[in-house]
Structure formats: C-alpha cells, structure tokens
Amino acid sequence: MTVNKTPKLDIYGLTDEGLVREHNEDYISWFIESGLVILADGMGGHNAGEVASELAVTSISDALDEVLTPDIKDDSEMDYKEAVHEAVVFANDEINQHAKTHPECSGMGTTVVMALFHDESVILASVGDSRIYRFRKGELEQVTTDHSLVQEMIDNGYMSEEEAMNSTNRNLITRALGIAENVEVDVTQLNIEKDDIYLLCSDGLSDMIDDNQIFSVLVKSREDLERASHELVKLAKEHGGHDNVSVILVACQ
C-alpha cells in the first residue's frame, strides 16, 4: 500500500455574501485527507457566477480524485504539477461546455486559486485575481500574481500600489475560467515548513483590507484558524463588504 504523503494540516474556511450582493457567487471546498484546497469567485448574470464557481471547484476535485487516491501504485513518477494544470484546464472546458448547453449561463466565468499539499511541498494554481498568501516566521507574502489590468499597470510602472488600491479599474481581470476556449494557468511549487499558514481568498477580502490588516489578524489568531477566518471576514465587512468574501486558512503542522 502506498504511504499517504499528505502532510498533517489544519484547515478552516468561510464564505459570506458581504453587505451589498444579493447572492454569494464564491465557492470553496477542501479535502484534508488529500491536501486539496480550492476557492473560486464567479461572475455572470442571472446567478450564473455561482454556477461557474461551483463547476470550477467540482471539476478540479473530480479530475484530481483518481490521482490523489492512495493505491498500490508507486506515485514516484507522478507529475503533480502537470496533474494540477490539467485539472484546471479541464474545469475551463467544463464551464465552457455548460455555457454552450445552458444559454442562461452564457458569458459566465470564474477566478480560481487552489493548493495541493503533497509530501514536503505545495503546488499552487491560479487564474484571475483571487489570491494565495503565505505567512511564515512572522512574514506575510502574496505567492500568486493577480491577473488584472491594474496589476499589469503596476508591473509596467504606470501605477503605484497605493494608486491601485483606489483605482476604479481594480476589478477588471485579464484571465478567468470559462471566458475562452483556452486558458493560461499559473502553476508553482513551493516547499512547506512546519507552522506555515496559507491563506486563499477572493478579492472580496483583498479589495476591502490591505496586507497589513491581514498580517495583524494572522499574528493575533494564528493558533485558531476559525477565529482568524471570522475576523478576516468581519474586517472586510466593516470596510464596506462590497463583494462576496471568502477565505480558507491552511496551517502546516
């Protein structure tokens, strides 16, 4: 029997409508036994955004289910980065196909961020402007890149980080699942360390509060992921709650 190579994790997630939206188009899920964590932030009329986000999460988890199920095979030859990439591409195909057969869902799409914890590493994938942060040894770092017009302007020197926080174009994304036949997926692999905390969040959090506020919550409540999750959502709502807000916290034991 293959030895389970999922590291010991503590996971807690929370999703909230916020104070303005009538529906929650975010969708989150995690599978602690396989170390898989996924968050999607949907968009589209007639509530199609919530269809897209749920489809993204279920399609990715279904695609990886066979890969992540322990069996008698040796997984030493398994390319986990490629498996993650293919799972996200599969989700894009599923969302596109659903939109073609359900006209009411035409034009729907979703961002996605996901993390697969395996052995001594984590494989991260992202499409859109949902984010993943890593809190390690007292330092908070964003480990994904926003696929947004504002981020491109920052990268090209046309806008500062401070200007970006107040930009009216900050929600214009340059990548999403379901908006084209092909999708470009960022996939990275990082080593994990004991006591690392990973935060997956929708822009309903990162647009409402800054990194310093996220840092303060994690410093104060790092031993209680449930408390930290509720505190982050509460802060986002106190600062306007203009969007659905979702967080998943993962602590490496």
Query: Would you mind telling me the total number of residues written for the chain in this entry?
Result: 253
**Structure tokens given for 167:** 């930009």
Give the pLDDT score at 164. Answer: 73
CA distance 71 to 145: 35
Which pLDDT tens digits describe the chain residue by residue (253 residues)?
344 588 999 999 999 999 999 999 999 999 999 999 999 999 987 789 999 999 999 999 999 997 876 553 456 668 999 999 999 999 999 999 999 999 999 999 999 999 999 999 999 999 999 999 999 999 999 999 999 888 888 888 878 877 777 776 777 899 999 999 999 999 999 999 999 999 999 999 999 999 999 999 999 999 999 999 999 999 999 999 999 999 999 999 9
What is the residue whose two structure tokens read 């340059």? Answer: 174
Give the model confidence (pLDDT) of 208-235 as tens digits.
999 999 999 999 999 999 999 999 999 9
Average pLDDT, the chain: 92
**Residue 19, Cβ neighbours under 10 Å: how many?**
13
* Model confidence pTM above 0.95: no
Q: Which CATH superfamily is domain 9-140+175-252 in?
A: PPM-type phosphatase domain (3.60.40.10)
